Structure 1
Amino acid sequence: MMNGPSTEDRISCLPNAILCHILSFLPTKYAVATCVLSSTWKLVWTSLPNLCFDDRLCLEFQRNLDLSTVASTRFENFVNRVLLSASGNINKFSLRCCGLVDSSRLKLWVSFATMRNVCEIEISLNDDECIELPHCIYTCKTLEVLKLDMNFFIKTPPTIFFPSAKTLHVILNTIDNNFSDWLFSKCPALEDLSIKGYIYGTDSVTLNIPSLTLKRLRLELEAPEEDYITKYKVIIRAPNLEQLYIRDHGPGLYAVHELHSLTKAVVDYGIECILDYDSPEDVAQADVAQAVVDMLRDIKNIKSLSLSSGTMFALDRLDYANDHSFPTFPFLNRLEVEGVGACGWQSVAHIFSRMPRLESIVFEEVRM
């Protein structure tokens, strides 16, 4: 039996590998701070596999929620010191900046991570500047997950992109015709793709997504409220795609081909504002509704389908009495419908009649 409380530091006696694993659950700022605990902890953090930097944790915000130039420099110097002191390979490099970041330093950080055989990179910048990422990120053979919330460009596209990347998530301020042509067709291992962004201008934009390996695709596209006349088309050709999520506030036209493996789809057209009968915009309601039907026809062999209130609103514009274009879903067994009140029950009944194997129906309230 113990006669009094033990003063033994049992945690510090653990092997360095375990100590490093414990620190991996902390933000990098706090993990580095453990170096002052004792001589045992002095260098443990230098072997961290995950390096996560967030300037909101490292710096004090001003009243206007912006970071001063001095504070931003301090943050950049902190990142430099950590990266230069780190030893071993890096599993994850994460950078989130609400303040401005020097683009040359950002390129150095990314280059350093790729030299350390990084597996996952996440970058989120609150900056409208379009930044050129280093060429090495696109050819890194160890990179499997890449998530970018920033504007980026490539001067000279390599012959192959992300040779090992299975997950690619991008959030962009602007999507144009040059965005996809050189990217998705050159990713040999891509399985999970997410694209979120705005499409501006009156020029026709085509987003082309061809992939033989893609299994999950999420698209969130939007045209500014003052620019609903923007025209864009999305072409998807992915024979191994299993899950498809579309959230469209344009609306755009979708051409879906060879989706032989697709089992689940979410179709979220947020187009109530331009389909309203009192809308001043000159939008052909029947044409938009037909575009929705055409897209549904291309995915008619799925087993699970979710339709948003905007999608139901669009489908209610069809003349079901004289129009037999709405597809039959021969294998669908689960349907989720949001905001049935947005359309008439006659339309709902007609839609249900085209689903002979339906087993489960979920009615959801409209999400605000």
Structure 2
Amino acid sequence: MNSVVATSSLSKSWRPRWTEVTSFHFGNRWWPDGNGLDCAQFVNKSLRRNNNESSPAIHKFGLQWDSTFASGFNPNMFLTRCLLSAVCRKVRVVDLDAFSVRRGGISIPEELYTCKTLEILKLRGPFEVKAPPPDEEVEVFLPKLVHLELNFVHYYHVSGDEFIHKLIRGCPVLQSLRIERNQYFSDSKDVSWSISSPALECLEIYSHDDGCFKRCETLNFKLEIDAPALKKLVLIDRVAGEISIRGGGLLSID
């Protein structure tokens, strides 16, 4: 796959097999000079070639980029097209690894939050995601999602934290959750996190202040965990003022 991406061309003899590919992992880091626009055009072309009724379901869609990726174009439309194609192809794993795409955040299509086949969702930053405005009722229901990662992903808006709560509640069979974030970028001085999940077995929370003690001292931060099936808890927190944990028979706490 890497050699194909590097040459940005597909031979005629290989094209029939290309339509049978079920795992995609793209990244501008493999591209000469990290050219994001060329990479985006290649990814779009690849997905269009595979996006038809006879195409097999996508097992994994991975996209990786660095700070140079969005140079010269807006990545929102590109990312939307990629994720919509993946959802249409009944994707099971989505892995987005981005680094500061652009200030102002990126948009994730609402269809991803109702994907019936999605089992693993990894969003790894640092980057910002536009949370839906408070007056927009966005449905969240991921019936098969068992693993969720939100690493340095900031849902910015007045409803940012509330949307994360809604996202977790919309995953009825979620077993593993990992959250890593920097509290310095909180939208409010009063931050209350409530993680409630009936099936959750493993919870990892890494909360950083990035050395900005003066800013973090002004935060009124509360963390509440309600997970009756919880078996493992990893909690590294330097800024939480109040922590409340309600769980079942915990096997291990780190």
Shorter-chain TM range is 0.7 to 0.9
Count how many residue pairs are aligned between Structure 1 and Structure 2.
229
Q: Could you list the runs of 5+ residues in structure 1 that have no partner in the other structure?
A: 1-25, 62-70, 267-368
| 1:168-216 Cα distance to aligned partner (Å, 9 max, x none) | 1012354764243322222211111111111136712111100101111
| Structure number with larger C-alpha Rg | 1
* Shift in Å, 1:125: 1.7
Tell me how far 1:28 sits from its aligned partner: 7.8
Q: CA deviation at 1:158?
A: 3.2
* Percent of aligned pairs with the same amino acid: 25
CA distance in 1, matches of 2:173, 2:137: 18
SS of 1:47's partner is: coil
Query: Partner letter of residue 184 of structure 1?
Result: I
Q: Which region of structure 1 is more displaced relative to structure 2, 200-209 or 162-171?
A: 200-209
Query: How far apart are 1:223 and its partner, in Å?
Result: 2.1
2:208 is aligned with 1:222: yes
What is aligned with 1:245?
Answer: 234
Contact 1:140–1:162 (Cα < 8 Å) also in 2:
yes
Name the amino acid aligned to 1:265: I
Mapped pair 1:78 → 2:42:
yes
| Counterpart secondary structure, 2:33 | coil
TM-score (norm 2): 0.81
Paired with 1:112 and 1:251, the residues of 2 have a C-alpha distance of: 40
> 97, 110, 120: which one pairs with 1:124?
97
Shift of 1:32: 8.6
TM-superposed CA distance for 1:231, in Å, is: 2.6
Deviations 1:85-135 (A, max 9, x none): 123221100001112152011111100100000000011222243222111
Shift in alpha-carbon separation, 1:177–1:123, aligned structure 2, 3 A:
closer
Matched, 1:190 2:171: no
Q: Which amino acid aligns with 2:220?
A: K
Cα offsets for 1:239-271 (capped at 9, x unmatched):
0011111111224421001x11320111xxxxx
Matches within 5 A, 1:225-236: 225-226=211-212, 227-229=215-217, 230-236=219-225
Q: In proportion to residue count, which structure has more strand?
A: 2
TM-score norm. by structure 1 comes to 0.57
* Residue in structure 1 matched with residue 79 of structure 2 by the alignment: 106
Matched, 1:166 2:123: no
In the alignment, the residues of structure 2 paired with residue 235 and residue 190 of structure 1 have an alpha-carbon distance, to the nearest angstrom, of 17
Tell me by how many angstroms 1:60 deviates: 1.6
What residue is the counterpart of 1:206 in the other structure? 192
Alignment of structure 1 residues 305-320 onto 2, 5 Å: none
Query: Which residues in structure 2 correspond to 1:1-368 (within 5 Å)?
Result: 26-27=1-2, 29=4, 35-36=10-11, 39=13, 41-61=14-34, 71-86=35-50, 87-98=55-66, 99-100=69-70, 102-126=75-99, 127=101, 128-149=103-124, 150-155=127-132, 156-172=136-152, 174=154, 177-200=161-184, 203-226=189-212, 227-229=215-217, 230-257=219-246, 259-266=247-254
